[in-house]
């Protein structure tokens, strides 16, 4: 998978992609990231990339020429790519979008804006606008890294253990189940007994149930189109929760 990032802060991208999942994927040759700086595509000697807004007001607007020149230069290799502008006004980026980008295998040119935005005419030179969520950041660099990371970790071989990806699909569409490691007891808080039992079948059912519990409590909107096995575990969980509520009510009445 090939990524290109157009940013006036190339060091920010360089620094981050050295480490972790992205660094590993790049070293293994599973992915490639090229970074370009609009400043290198300015024609004036001050390498100016922004200017005052027409119509007045505070802040600066990034100028179109450096971006246009950079995009034209990058496209000069004749390869196909999707040109994406990171912006709070874009289409929402989700796990599903990450999966679709990986599946298509198209190279992505990620354009990072700063300040109050980029000259609106950039819209004529991009394929789409993407937002990673409903908040404003000081630049598109973090969203670009979020997109690269989320796609690369889906490539088999980028996660340390292949198993992790498999587990992800086991819990796909749900929130995660709770994780524990040594020690068995910390500040009086014990690891759930089932995880020490060595009974892998029982452990799998417990994890599914706890994943469903987390999802039911925090993100019930995710609980649709359940597989029949998941539905069975959900019903079992609901009946346990019901029993507990009735027991607690009963106890409080008898007090
Ligand atoms: C305002 C993306 C800010 C306008 C970018 C860019 C959040 C996101 C910025 C632009 C960002 C997000 C029109 C390019 C940079 N902040 N939620 N800040 N334009 O994905």
Ligand 1 centroid distance, CA of 111 (Å) = 10
The pTM of the full predicted model, rounded to 2 decimals, is 0.94
Pair of tokens at residue 151: 């796609």
At residue 160, the pLDDT reads: 61
C-beta 86 within 6 A of ligand 1: yes
Q: Can you identify the CATH homologous superfamily of domain 185-254? A: tRNA(m1g37)methyltransferase, domain 2 (1.10.1270.20)
Q: Find out whether 1 and 102 touch, Cβ atoms under 8 Å.
A: yes
At residue 115, the pLDDT reads: 63
Strand partners, 6: 36, 111
Every domain of the chain and the residues it spans: 2-152, 185-254
Tens digits of residue pLDDT in 37-66: 999 999 999 999 999 999 999 999 999 999
Pair of tokens at residue 129: 């606008």
Strand partners, 189: 186
At residue 116, the pLDDT reads: 76
At residue 114, the pLDDT reads: 84
Angle between helices 141-152 and 20-27 (to 10 degrees): 60
Question: In whole angstroms, what is the distance from residue 129 CA to residue 208 CA?
Answer: 36
Rg (CA), the chain: 24
CATH code for residues 2-152: 3.40.1280.10
Ligand 1 site-directed mutation target among 67, 123, 140, most atoms within 8 Å of CB:
140
At residue 6, the pLDDT reads: 98
In the chain, which residues have pLDDT < 50? none
C-beta 111 within 6 A of ligand 1: no
Q: Is 221 a catalytic residue?
A: no
């Amino acid at each position: 998978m090939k990524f290109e990032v157009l940013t006036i802060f190339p060091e920010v991208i360089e620094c981050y992609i050295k480490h972790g999942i992205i660094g590993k994927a790049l070293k293994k040759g599973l992915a490639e990231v090229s970074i370009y700086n609009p400043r290198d595509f300015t024609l004036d000697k001050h390498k100016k990339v922004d200017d005052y807004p027409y119509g007045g007001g505070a802040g600066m607007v990034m100028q179109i020429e450096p971006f246009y020149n950079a995009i034209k230069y990058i496209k000069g290799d004749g390869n196909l790519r999707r040109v994406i502008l990171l912006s709070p006004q874009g289409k929402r980026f989700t796990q599903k979008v990450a999966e679709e980008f990986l599946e298509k295998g198209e190279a992505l040119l990620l354009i990072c804006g700063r300040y109050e935005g980029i000259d609106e005419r950039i819209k004529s030179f991009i394929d789409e606008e993407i937002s990673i969520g409903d908040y404003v950041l000081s630049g598109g660099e973090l969203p670009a890294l979020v997109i690269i990371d989320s796609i690369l970790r889906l490539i088999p071989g980028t996660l340390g253990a292949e198993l992790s990806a498999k587990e992800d699909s086991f819990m796909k569409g749900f929130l995660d189940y709770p994780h524990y490691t040594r020690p068995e007891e910390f500040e009086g808080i014990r690891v759930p007994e089932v995880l020490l039992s060595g009974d892998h079948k029982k452990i799998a059912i417990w994890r599914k149930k706890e994943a469903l519990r987390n999802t039911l409590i925090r993100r019930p909107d995710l609980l649709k189109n359940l597989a029949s096995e998941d539905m069975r575990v959900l019903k079992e969980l609901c009946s346990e929760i019901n029993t507990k509520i009735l027991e607690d009510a009963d106890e409080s009445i008898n007090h």
